[in-house]
Structure 1
Amino acid sequence: MMTEPKTPEIEADHLTAHHVPQDFRDRLAFRIVKFMRIFADAFFSNRYGHRAVVLETVAAVPGMVGGLLQHLKAIRHIRDDQGWIKELIDEADNERMHLMTFIKIAEPSRFERLLIMVAQLIFYNLYFFLYLFAPRVAHRVVGYLEEEAVVSYTNYLAEIDAGRQENVPAPDIAKDYWNLPDDARLRDVVIVVRQDEAEHRDTNHRFADTIAAGKQA
């Protein structure tokens, strides 16, 4: 996913963008994400590569769930989906590529792979029912989850720049997917992944706003 470059000022504003909770639903979504962050901090601390693997395992779920339920809703009501299905499925596939990339970089242990399976099992079922009964909250959860992802990848980048994380060569899967140069390094991968996460953040907050305004068909 390639995007036009931004000036430093616009880039800074884009990366620090935060949706201020407007009501109970927004505050609930925000608290859910902050609660989830506790476990990520407890298990992985500054092990950003392994943290990214688990983060992307969870992040790859909402788009597929949302795409499925929007597909069924469009069929049930015999109406156009306004482009939501493709956008959500594309998001899920993009997050899957993040996961495949960081698995090559972090090489998770058997315990961490088990943790990935458990996290996916739990999160899929919880998110499915959340989206089924409260799609606005579900999209807001993802918006806040992606805000946290942008922060995590920004911290990851700072660790690389400080020399505390080795700036290893980018795996071939990342170079092929993002059309990175042959000499691309981990730093280049983190930058493009962070940009993807910022776009998913904005998309899901926009979807939540659309639902709140009653503008979804």
Structure 2
Amino acid sequence: MNSLTISSTTPLRVAARPQSLFCLAARSYSGVTPTTFYGSFRVNRRSSPVAYSSKRLISSTPQNQIKEYFPPPQTPGVKEVQSAWVHPVYTESQMRTIQIAHRDATNWSDWVALGTVRIFRWGMDFVTGYKHPEPGQELDAKFKMTEKKWLARFIFLESVAGVPGMVGGMLRHLRSLRRMKRDNGWIETLLEEAFNERMHLLTFLKLAEPGWFMRFMVLGAQGVFFNGFFLSYLISPRICHRFVGYLEEEAVITYTRAIQELEDGKLPEWNTLEAPEIAVQYWQMPEDKRTMKDLLMYIRADEAKHREVNHTLGNLVQATDPNPYQTQYQDPTKEHPSKGMENLKGEGWERKDIF
């Protein structure tokens, strides 16, 4: 992740206040809570030339409460605040090779992790009315995804996705202090993953502003998920990493479907939508590759990397093995896990192939 130069932007504006009823799911570690409420929507007109005026699923606040989600520093003499991590540069060819992948469950702990993720995914799809069509199938209008529905889904899920890395990094940090032993690189990768997921959220917040009810939903989901994941990581870090690996498999599927719908012309408002400046700087996006489609491809690549990292960490001896993504190997000619998209394995690296 490179240093970010953040400039202030114009306030987010109110586009419409439709009074349509809809459902949203609060996905947490313990389950899915369906909630029904009325909503409206606002967008940042500077980030998008498109006037969103139809129904919106993520805002219920009648007017703007804040001007900027990620404001520049106001301290005298301070020009910018630099990031601690430099994001790897992805090439277009690398991002286009990202594919949906699945790691088969081979033991009871894998089945626990996979079963939990499948329950979450089913519940989320059910209460939000989402249904992916089979090949050649035409869905009813109520199941069709729009730009607004996709953004609602992205914002809510990314607000929770940054929790696992922070919890794992925090617990390993405390364990290192408590036992007075090195952590061998795990903390850095887990915290970097949490930071990366937060950048996804901040990017989407440049395109849409959630209202008070969405913020309440995020608060509730985060509270349940954080505590559930915290206790689970104390019991079995391996299951938790496998759980996140399967969760990231679903994230890759989600972004792949969104990209496919955009390419098929089903999301016309995104054809002229450009990526926010915060995304351009963070992913170091080339000047001619800054469309909404490019943004989704960068985020999908990140999720594919998280998928590999967590499946790999789930294959290791949690207490003693070094983090393969922070390791300098004696034989550099042999293929090893890397921070970038080189040698990407959708199902993760097996321990015997690393050490």
1:97 lines up with 2:199 in the alignment = yes
- What whole-Å deviation, never above 9, does each CA across 1:79-116 have from its counterpart, x for those lacking one? 22121000000000000000111122243343222221
**CA distance 1:7–1:176, shift in 2 (3 Å):** closer
1:62-101 correspondence to structure 2 within 5 Å: 62-101=164-203
**Structure number with higher strand proportion:** 2
- Structure 1 residue 157 displacement after superposition: 0.5
Partner of 1:128: 230
Whether the 8 Å CA contact 1:150–1:197 is kept in 2: the answer is yes
**Equivalent of 1:137, from 229, 239, 247?**
239
Q: Percent of counterpart pairs with the same letter?
A: 40
**Equivalent of 1:208, from 314, 338, 344?**
314
Return the letter of the residue paired with 1:80: R
**Equivalent of 2:296, from 190, 196, 205?**
190
Distance 1:188 1:7 in 2: 12
Distance 1:6 1:131 in 2: 36
Return the letter of the residue paired with 1:83: G
Whether the 8 Å CA contact 1:40–1:51 is kept in 2: the answer is no
Partner of 2:104: 20
**Bigger mean CA offset, 156-165 vs 58-67:** 156-165
**Structure number with higher helix proportion:** 1
| Count of residues in correspondence between the two structures | 214
Distance 1:180 1:6 in 2: 10
Partner of 1:112: 214
Whether the 8 Å CA contact 1:44–1:50 is kept in 2: the answer is no
- What whole-Å deviation, never above 9, does each CA across 1:28-71 have from its counterpart, x for those lacking one? 00011111112321226332211111111111000000000011
Whether the 8 Å CA contact 1:58–1:119 is kept in 2: the answer is yes
**Structure 1 residues without counterparts, runs of 5 or longer:** none
| Secondary structure in 1 matching 2:101 | coil
1:43 lines up with 2:43 in the alignment = no
- Structure 1 residue 3 displacement after superposition: 4.1
**Structure 2 residues without counterparts, runs of 5 or longer:** 1-86, 131-144, 323-355
Whether the 8 Å CA contact 1:44–1:51 is kept in 2: the answer is no
Distance 1:202 1:88 in 2: 13
